[in-house]
């Protein structure tokens, strides 16, 4: 362990399942929960995400999206102005006016999410009340919901947890006509979702639904006949609410890599009492093919040192994949937030003494990066080029929430994402010595 | 409350970051929640900087709000000063911290730090990025130079004569995330050197605190980017008696005026006017090839400085007709309105890109000069476009030298504006020859296969004629095009087809024609020429 790690808070150092869990606090460099709107609005084209916040919020989302808007987007910001801060009653009225304008302009919208931000939380704007009133006013036409994506409460992917949590109360309760269903929770690329559904059908699980659905107004039912399989590791609140509704949460690692995806599908199979031989029959050829497809990347990645900075909460499952399936050496696995219960299966699969750090002191963490000189750093967009400028290869963590990486068939694509920077490094003859 | 789907400018603290990141030896302590750190990527990704901006964010969380956030701020300040050891510390807050009123500037001033502290108050709920940049630059200069103000009140811009040296000037305003600032500085430095003038300080881009302190030693200030530097230049004029030049040297005419103004302020003899030849724009525009540029309808939108400069070039140097002029920058509304009035137009002052889009659609220009957002708008409308202004996009930081200012800047502008139109012309020729037997079906010019903006900005010749039918479905009141009329319209070059269609329909409605055939088309043509 590098000397710098002794700066980490020892009191909170816990050994669990062989990993070393540490906590760090200080200045952070992570996106806030608003950022998840960037993929959520694409998943549900009949929904609109209206951030109630400041110009910073608007600027953040358009900057994080990294693209200019090609048409009228399905997200926007109701920017608070001085006069809105003066009186809350007026602010509520103003928000009603903005929503009315918006819905008149966009009659195709079925679900409107009012998304709380840092400033709206600090001035205690009651978005849930506004949402209720608006739902009543637009009865039958638009459902208005609210959640917080504020940076004082959420990081990055936690925004999706908030949005899905807001949908749970609207999910219809199961009735006697409902059959047992498998509910996949967490946004997946549409193509990946279709593929996974096909595979579950081969296993004999035909009743498969997704949250979020492709249409915000077509929510799956929920109740004791539902078994929930989490596709993303950052949905702890949503999982809790679904459990409260009577659903069973299937415990499994997350479907990243061949191994993770296999264990994930087997856990579902077990929950549905699918017999072992059918599971093997369906999965074994996929696994053999998946492992074979991984080989060229494994060759590139094996023995290389990787350092994961905290951002998406995908870090722990990714670290497990990079170590166990690609042979990478884990220097440090950062995560903005660690839910031990949700991560139990994953933590067990990490090698002894893996340094898992929850929270961040970005300066000290970057000191450790420089000390350890890893071959690859997984980090946020703001940090990547400064590391590249020191000839340290990087991978943007935001790419991992946009790319179709889940499932056995996608494992080699996932590995390729990490192998590409290293391969590029080998391809280029010249390296910079100093810039700026 | 303002509904915003996309914004031309960021919040004012991003403007402050632009000043801090432009300079050397400065650190900015920003009291802000996590998430606000996104702003780093503006510098490291869009501008491809290899260094993080020198900013420490306090990244406070909800649980901190119950406790002592002031102590948290002080902790971050001590740590940042110890770690980065800056020559000056800027202290400010983002929108959320403004609400909790910790007053980090006062906290820092009370800590007895061994470093100059400049406290920034940037009202996040009423101001925007460029204002924040200007205010930060102003507070920084004022904070560092205020004490010396009285010593220099007898500033003499002609002191260089008595001292037997070359005159010296400061270039004020260039910053990171500004449009082509890096190259403009090189170009203006060269231009001034040719005129026997030395550049003393360039700020904020690349300047140190020591450089800022040297500003009053120069004979004259050059206000290159009024959005960022005008308040500083005025303050230096009021307090140090330093005059400043107001002409922004974008375009041939403006560059000439700039040289004249600078020489006049320094009381240097005026040169014989031979400078028009120094840019190829003058000759290229005069050459016979450019005849087709005559009267091209152009719509201009951007920051105030670049939009106003573009209007002058378009009208006076390229022979275009300016059919729209506007800016997103409220601080520049007055000069933009004045410039528009001279052109017989009403300026569009708006931060709403949908409003800009409908103004462009209404004006039906043949070329759009705008920001990256207008590039997308133009693409949707099938109109050629060139980018002239921020907000910054990674494409606006080209690897090659491509200034906007000075003689070379005018060359760059000629190429950048005229090429999209030439591409349009080329597509027209393809349209003309498409029935020749040599022309295999599906063939496109090389432009058609480009992935970049060239491809996207070329109008699809077939598209607009098809639109006629769609249009009629939507608006029953419009006159109906006969098939013969449609055929005649299809023979008109696509780049004027939209305008002809619009004019003909307008004429038909006025004249009470229900059906439009080729005769109506010619009637309309004669009507509008008359």
Residues A91-121: tens digit of each pLDDT = 889 999 999 999 998 999 999 999 999 999 9
Q: Are A371 and A302 in contact (CB under 8 A)?
A: no
pLDDT value of residue B456: 37
Domain enclosing residue A315, as ranges: 3-29+294-427
The H or E element that residue A211 is part of is strand A208-211
A219 and A255 share one domain: yes
Per the model's pLDDT, the better-predicted residue between B449 and A258 turns out to be: A258
Q: Which class for A187: exposed (0-12), middle (13-18), buried (19 or more C-beta within 10 A)? A: buried
Q: Which two tokens stand for residue B286?
A: 């005069």
pLDDT tens track for B280-305: 999 999 998 888 899 999 999 999 99
How far is the C-alpha of B1 from the C-alpha of A105, rounded, in Å?
17
**Does residue A174 carry a pLDDT above 60?**
yes
Question: What domains, with CATH codes, occur in chain B?
Answer: 12-127 (3.40.50.1980), 146-268 (3.40.50.1980), 280-426 (3.40.50.1980), 461-529 (1.10.8.550)
**Does residue A244 carry a pLDDT above 50?**
yes
The H or E element that residue A229 is part of is strand A226-230
How far is the C-alpha of B339 from the C-alpha of B348, rounded, in Å?
11
Q: Are B55 and B80 in contact (CB under 8 A)?
A: no
* Nearest-by-Cβ selection for B44 from A31, A79, A382: A382
pLDDT value of residue B84: 97
**Does residue A2 carry a pLDDT above 50?**
no
How far is the C-alpha of A238 from the C-alpha of B283, rounded, in Å?
67
Q: Which class for B498: exposed (0-12), middle (13-18), buried (19 or more C-beta within 10 A)? A: buried
A-B contacts at Cβ under 8 angstroms: 201
pLDDT value of residue B492: 80
Q: Which of residues 73-92 of B touch A (CB under 8 A)?
A: 76, 79, 83
* Chain B residue whose CA is closest to A311: B35
DSSP bridge partners of A393: A376
- Answer left, alpha or beta for residue B44, where phi above 0 means left and psi between -120 and 50 means alpha: alpha
Is residue A176 in some structural domain?
A: no
* Nearest-by-Cβ selection for B125 from A82, A94, A383: A82
pLDDT band at A178 (very low <50, low <70, confident <90, very high): confident
Q: Which of residues 296-355 of B touch A (CB under 8 A)?
A: 353-354
| Chain B residues within an 8 Å CB radius of A64 | 38, 41
Q: Are B224 and B255 in contact (CB under 8 A)?
A: no
**Does residue A10 carry a pLDDT above 60?**
no
CB contact under 8 A, B380 and A122: no
pLDDT value of residue B511: 86
Distance from CA of B58 to the nearest CA of A (A): 6
**Does residue B468 carry a pLDDT above 60?**
no
**Does residue B464 carry a pLDDT above 60?**
no
**Does residue B483 carry a pLDDT above 60?**
yes
DSSP state of A307: E
CB contact under 8 A, B38 and A383: no
A43 and A139 share one domain: yes
**Does residue A231 carry a pLDDT above 70?**
yes
pLDDT band at B151 (very low <50, low <70, confident <90, very high): low
Q: Are B30 and B94 in contact (CB under 8 A)?
A: yes
How far is the C-alpha of B211 from the C-alpha of B217, rounded, in Å?
10
* Chain B residue whose CA is closest to A99: B3
Length of chain A counted residue by residue: 436
pLDDT value of residue B474: 43
A300 and A375 share one domain: yes
A38 and A24 share one domain: no
| Chain B residues within an 8 Å CB radius of A93 | none
Q: Are B227 and B133 in contact (CB under 8 A)?
A: yes
Is residue A13 in some structural domain?
A: yes
CB contact under 8 A, B51 and A382: no
Q: What CA–CA distances, in Å, run from A100 to A109, A139, A433, B120?
A: 12, 13, 56, 37
CB contact under 8 A, B58 and A27: yes
Q: What CA–CA distances, in Å, run from B474 to A92, B467, B468, B478?
A: 37, 11, 10, 9
**Is B289 considered catalytic here?**
yes
Residue carrying the six token digits 């599971």: A279
**Does residue A8 carry a pLDDT above 70?**
no
CB contact under 8 A, A383 and B40: yes
Distance from CA of B35 to the nearest CA of A (A): 4
pLDDT value of residue B426: 63
| Chain B residues within an 8 Å CB radius of A115 | none
Q: Dump strand ranges (E) for A99-254.
A: 111-116, 143-148, 181-185, 208-211, 226-230, 248-249
Mean pLDDT of B34-45: 95
A351 and A379 share one domain: yes
pLDDT value of residue B461: 40
| Chain B residues within an 8 Å CB radius of A121 | 62
**Does residue A13 carry a pLDDT above 60?**
no
Mean pLDDT of A399-419: 95
List of residues 6+ apart from B2 with CB closer than 8 A: A78, A79, A81
| Main-chain dihedrals φ then ψ at residue A365, nearest 5 degrees | -65, -40
CB contact under 8 A, B35 and A150: yes
pLDDT tens track for A313-348: 999 999 999 999 999 999 999 999 999 999 999 999
Q: Give the active site residue among B68, B289, B467, B469.
A: B289
A149 and A189 share one domain: no
Residue of B9, B25, B34 to mutate for A, most A C-beta atoms under 10 A: B34
A299 and A275 share one domain: no
Residue carrying the six token digits 């807050």: B93
CA A9 to chain centre: 27
A263 and A142 share one domain: no
Mean pLDDT of A370-398: 95
pLDDT value of residue B239: 93
Is residue A400 in some structural domain?
A: yes
**Does residue B512 carry a pLDDT above 90?**
no
How far is the C-alpha of B351 from the C-alpha of B347, rounded, in Å?
13
pLDDT band at B497 (very low <50, low <70, confident <90, very high): confident
CB contact under 8 A, B52 and A382: yes
Check whether the bond before A361 is cis (ω within 30° of 0): no
| Span of A213-222, A259-268, B386-395, B414-423 with lowest mean pLDDT | B414-423
Is residue A434 in some structural domain?
A: no
SS3 of B264-302: HHCCCCCCCCCHHHHCHHHHHHHCHHHHHHCCCEEEEEE
A122 and A188 share one domain: no
pLDDT value of residue B448: 39
Q: Which of B389, B428, B208 is nearest to B302 (CA)?
A: B389
Q: Are B221 and B244 in contact (CB under 8 A)?
A: yes
pLDDT value of residue A423: 94
Distance from CA of A189 to the nearest CA of B (A): 25
pLDDT value of residue B154: 78
CB contact under 8 A, B1 and A78: yes
**Does residue B470 carry a pLDDT above 50?**
no
**Does residue A308 carry a pLDDT above 90?**
yes
Is residue A162 in some structural domain?
A: no
pLDDT value of residue B455: 35
How far is the C-alpha of B142 from the C-alpha of A309, rounded, in Å?
40
* Chain A residue whose CA is closest to B372: A68
Is residue A216 in some structural domain?
A: yes
| Span of A169-173, B217-221, B392-396, B526-530 with lowest mean pLDDT | B526-530
pLDDT value of residue A404: 94
**Does residue B449 carry a pLDDT above 80?**
no
Q: Are A357 and A20 in contact (CB under 8 A)?
A: no
* Chain B residue whose CA is closest to A56: B11
Is residue A96 in some structural domain?
A: yes
Kind of pairing, strands A181-185 and A226-230?
Answer: parallel
Q: What CA–CA distances, in Å, run from B343 to A30, A113, B324?
A: 48, 45, 9
| Main-chain dihedrals φ then ψ at residue B224, nearest 5 degrees | -75, -40
| Span of A362-376, A399-413, B35-49, B446-460 with lowest mean pLDDT | B446-460
Is residue A269 in some structural domain?
A: yes
Q: Which of A142, A91, A149 is nearest to A115 (CA)?
A: A149
Mean pLDDT of chain A: 92
pLDDT value of residue B42: 95
pLDDT tens track for B319-363: 999 999 999 999 999 999 999 999 999 999 999 999 999 999 999
pLDDT band at B500 (very low <50, low <70, confident <90, very high): confident
pLDDT band at A90 (very low <50, low <70, confident <90, very high): confident
Distance from CA of A379 to the nearest CA of B (A): 12
Q: Are B265 and B233 in contact (CB under 8 A)?
A: no
A133 and A53 share one domain: yes
How far is the C-alpha of B324 from the C-alpha of B346, rounded, in Å?
8
How far is the C-alpha of B420 from the C-alpha of B298, rounded, in Å?
12
pLDDT value of residue B460: 41
B14 touches chain A (CB under 8 A): yes
CATH code assigned at A231: 3.40.50.1980
Q: What CA–CA distances, in Å, run from B224 to B121, B171, B187, B218, B338?
A: 25, 6, 12, 16, 20
A300 and A420 share one domain: yes
Q: Which ranges of B315-452 would DSSP assign to H, the alpha helix?
A: 333-342, 353-363, 372-381, 406-433
| Chain B residues within an 8 Å CB radius of A380 | 37, 41
Q: Which of residues 24-83 of B touch A (CB under 8 A)?
A: 33-42, 44-45, 48-52, 56-62, 65, 76, 79, 83
Q: Which class for B37: exposed (0-12), middle (13-18), buried (19 or more C-beta within 10 A)? A: buried
Distance from CA of B34 to the nearest CA of A (A): 5
DSSP state of B38: G
Residue of A381, A382, A392 to mutate for B, most B C-beta atoms under 10 A: A382
CB contact under 8 A, B35 and A30: yes
pLDDT tens track for B381-413: 889 999 999 999 988 999 999 999 999 999 999
The tally of domains found in chain A comes to: 3
DSSP bridge partners of B93: B31
**Does residue A166 carry a pLDDT above 90?**
yes
| Span of A221-235, B447-461, B512-526 with lowest mean pLDDT | B447-461
CB contact under 8 A, A30 and B48: no
pLDDT band at B433 (very low <50, low <70, confident <90, very high): low
* Chain B residue whose CA is closest to A92: B1
ipTM over 0.90: yes
Q: Are A311 and A359 in contact (CB under 8 A)?
A: no
**Does residue B469 carry a pLDDT above 50?**
no
* Chain B residue whose CA is closest to A48: B5
**Does residue B496 carry a pLDDT above 60?**
yes
A17 and A37 share one domain: no
How far is the C-alpha of B432 from the C-alpha of B426, rounded, in Å?
10
* Nearest-by-Cβ selection for A98 from B1, B13, B57: B1
Per the model's pLDDT, the better-predicted residue between B154 and B106 turns out to be: B106
pLDDT band at B377 (very low <50, low <70, confident <90, very high): very high
Per residue in B233-272, is it b (16+ CB within 10 Å) or e — as a string?
Answer: bebbeebbebbbbebbbbbbbbbbbbbbbbbebbebeeee
B397 touches chain A (CB under 8 A): no
The H or E element that residue A109 is part of is none
Mean pLDDT of B251-279: 89
């Amino acid at each position: 362990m590098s000397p710098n790690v002794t700066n980490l808070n020892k009191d909170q150092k816990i050994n669990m399942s062989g990993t070393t869990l540490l906590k760090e606090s200080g200045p952070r460099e992570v996106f806030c929960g608003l950022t998840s709107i960037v993929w959520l609005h694409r998943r549900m084209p009949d929904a609109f995400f209206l951030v109630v916040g400041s110009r910073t919020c608007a600027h953040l989302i358009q900057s994080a999206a990294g693209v200019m808007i090609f048409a009228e987007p399905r997200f926007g910001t109701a920017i608070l102005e001085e006069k809105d801060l003066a009186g809350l009653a007026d602010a509520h009225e103003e928000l009603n006016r903005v929503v009315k304008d918006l819905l008149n302009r966009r009659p195709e919208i079925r679900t409107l999410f009012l998304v709380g931000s840092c400033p709206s939380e600090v001035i205690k704007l009651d978005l849930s009340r506004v949402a209720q009133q608006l739902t009543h006013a637009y009865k039958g036409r638009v459902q208005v919901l609210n959640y917080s994506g504020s940076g004082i409460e959420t990081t990055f992917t936690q925004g999706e947890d908030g949005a899905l949590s807001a949908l749970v109360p609207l999910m219809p309760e199961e009735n006697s006509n409902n059959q047992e269903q498998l509910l996949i929770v967490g946004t997946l690329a549409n193509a990946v979702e279709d593929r996974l559904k096909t595979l579950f059908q081969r296993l004999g699980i035909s009743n498969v639904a997704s949250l979020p659905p492709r249409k915000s107004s077509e929510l799956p039912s929920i109740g004791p006949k539902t078994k929930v399989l989490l596709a993303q590791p950052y949905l702890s609140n949503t999982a809790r609410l679904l459990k409260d509704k009577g659903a069973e949460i299937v415990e499994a690692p997350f479907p990243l890599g061949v191994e993770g995806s296999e264990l994930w599908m087997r856990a579902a199979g077990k929950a549905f009492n699918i017999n072992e031989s059918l599971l093997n029959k369906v999965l074994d050829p996929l696994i053999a093919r998946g492992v074979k497809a991984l080989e060229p990347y494994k060759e590139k990645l094996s023995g290389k040192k990787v350092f994961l900075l905290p951002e998406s909460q995908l870090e722990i499952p990714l670290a497990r994949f990079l170590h166990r399936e690609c042979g990478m050496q884990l220097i440090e696995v950062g995560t903005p937030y660690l839910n031990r219960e949700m991560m139990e299966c994953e933590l067990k699969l990490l090698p002894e003494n893996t340094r898992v750090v929850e929270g961040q002191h970005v300066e000290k963490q970057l000191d450790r990066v420089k000390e350890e000189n890893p071959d690859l750093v997984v980090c946020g967009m703001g940090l990547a080029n400064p590391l590249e400028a020191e000839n340290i290869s990087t991978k943007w963590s935001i790419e991992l929430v946009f790319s179709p990486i889940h499932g056995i068939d996608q494992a080699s694509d996932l590995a390729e994402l990490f192998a590409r920077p290293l391969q590029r490094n080998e391809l280029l003859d010249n390296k910079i010595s100093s810039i700026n | 409350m303002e509904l915003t789907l996309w914004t031309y400018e960021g919040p004012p603290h991003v403007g402050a970051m632009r000043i801090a990141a432009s300079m050397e030896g400065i650190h900015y302590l920003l009291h802000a929640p996590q998430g606000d750190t996104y702003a780093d990527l503006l510098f490291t990704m869009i501008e491809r900087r290899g260094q993080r901006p020198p900013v420490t964010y306090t990244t406070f969380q909800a649980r901190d709000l119950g406790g002592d956030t002031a102590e948290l701020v002080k902790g971050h300040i001590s740590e940042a000063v110890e770690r980065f050891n800056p020559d000056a510390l800027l202290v400010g807050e983002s929108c959320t911290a403004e609400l909790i009123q910790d007053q980090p500037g006062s906290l820092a001033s009370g800590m007895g730090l061994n470093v100059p502290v400049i406290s920034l108050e940037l009202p996040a709920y009423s101001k925007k990025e460029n204002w924040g940049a200007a205010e930060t630059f102003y507070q920084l200069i004022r904070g560092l130079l205020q004490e010396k103000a009285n010593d220099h009140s007898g500033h003499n811009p002609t002191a260089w004569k008595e001292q037997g040296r070359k005159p010296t000037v400061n270039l004020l305003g260039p910053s990171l995330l500004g449009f082509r600032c890096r190259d403009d500085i090189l170009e203006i430095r060269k231009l001034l050197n040719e005129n026997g003038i030395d550049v003393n300080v360039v700020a904020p881009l690349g300047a140190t605190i020591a450089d800022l302190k040297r500003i009053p030693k120069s004979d004259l200030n050059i206000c290159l980017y009024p959005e960022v530097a005008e308040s500083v230049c005025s303050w230096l004029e009021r307090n140090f008696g330093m005059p400043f030049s107001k002409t922004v040297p974008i375009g041939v005419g403006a560059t000439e005026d700039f040289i004249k103004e600078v020489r006049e302020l320094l009381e240097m003899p005026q040169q014989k006017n031979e400078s028009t030849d120094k840019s190829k724009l003058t000759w290229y525009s005069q050459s016979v090839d450019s005849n087709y540029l005559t009267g091209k309808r152009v719509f201009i939108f951007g920051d105030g400085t670049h939009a106003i400069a573009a209007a002058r070039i378009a009208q006076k140097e390229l022979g275009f007709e300016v059919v729209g002029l506007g800016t997103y920058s409220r601080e520049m509304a007055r000069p933009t309105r004045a410039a528009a009035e001279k052109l017989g137009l009403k300026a569009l002052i708006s931060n709403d890109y949908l409003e800009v889009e409908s103004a462009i659609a209404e004006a039906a220009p043949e070329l759009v000069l705008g920001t990256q957002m207008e590039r997308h708008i133009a693409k949707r409308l099938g109109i050629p476009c060139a980018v002239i202004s921020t907000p910054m996009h990674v494409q606006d930081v080209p690897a090659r030298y491509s200034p906007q200012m000075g003689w070379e800047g005018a060359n760059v502008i000629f190429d950048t504006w005229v090429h999209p139109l030439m591409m349009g012309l080329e597509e027209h020729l393809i349209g003309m020859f498409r029935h020749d037997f040599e022309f295999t079906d599906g063939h496109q010019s090389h432009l058609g296969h480009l992935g970049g903006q060239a491809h996207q900005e070329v109008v699809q010749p077939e598209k607009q004629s098809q639109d006629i039918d769609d249009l009629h479905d939507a608006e029953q009141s419009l006159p109906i095009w006969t098939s013969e009329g449609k055929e005649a319209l299809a023979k008109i070059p696509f780049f004027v087809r939209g305008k002809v269609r619009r004019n003909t329909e307008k004429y038909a409605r006025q004249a009470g024609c229900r059906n439009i055939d080729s005769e109506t088309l010619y009637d309309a043509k004669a009507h509008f020429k008359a």
